Amino acid sequence: MPPLRLRPPVPALVLLLALGLPPGPALAAPAAAPLVALGAGHYATAPRAGTEDARTLPPDPRYRAGAELGLAAPAGQWYSSVLYQRWSRPLYALPLSARAAPEGVEIGWPHGELVVGQPGGRRAMHWLHAPELTVAPLGFRPEDARLEQHGDWHARVRLGTRAGPALHVTLLHGSPFAYFDCDAGDVALRIRAAAAPLEALPRGVRTPPVAAFTTAGHAYALFAPTGARLEWTSPSELVVHLPPRARYFSVAALPEAGAATLAEFQRLAYAFPTDTRASWEYDEARGLVRTSFRVTTVAREGDNRDTLLGLYPHHWAALAQPLAERHRYATVRGPIRLVAGQAFATELRYRGFVPYWPGLRDAGNRAQLAAQLAAETRAPPVEGSGGGPYWLGKELNALAQLARIADVEGDAARRDAWFGELRGRMEAAFDGRHAVYFVEDRRNGAWLGYPQEYQSIQDLNDHHFHYGYWLNAAGELALQDPGWLAPGRYGGMVGRLIADVATAERGRADFPYLRYFDPYEGHSWASGIVDLDAGNDQESSSEAVNAWAGLVLLGEASGNRALRDLGVYLYASEIASVEAYWFDRHHEVLAPEYAVPFATIVWGGKYDHATWWTEEPRQVALINTIPFTPASTYLGADPALVRAIVARLPAEEAAYRARTETDGTEPDVWQDLLASYLALADPAAARRRWDPAGAVEFGETRSHTLFWLASLAELGTPDLSVGADTTLYAVFRAPGGARTYLAYNAGSTPRRVRFSTGVELEVGPHALARSP
DSSP string, 464-522: HHHHHHHHHHHHHHHHH-GGGGSTTTTHHHHHHHHHHHHB-SSS-SSS-BTTTEETTTT
For 511-528, give the secondary structure using H, E and C.
CCECCCEECCCCEECCCC
CA distance 633 to 206: 56
DSSP string, 189-206: EEESS--EEE--S-GGG-
CA distance 212 to 36: 61
DSSP label at residue 542: H
Catalytic residues: 462, 539, 543
CA distance 206 to 558: 61
- Termini Cα distance of the chain: 58
| CA distances to 390, 594, 606, 678, 682 from 642, in Å | 27, 18, 23, 6, 9
Region of 8 please: left (phi>0), alpha (psi -120 to 50) or beta: beta
Name the E strands within 579-714.
601-603, 606-608
How long is the chain? 772
- Residue 589's Cβ-count burial label (10 Å; 0-12, 13-18, 19+) is buried
DSSP string, 281-309: EEETTTTEEEEEEEEEEEESSSS---EEE
Q: Which strand (E) or helix (H) includes residue 144?
A: strand 144-150
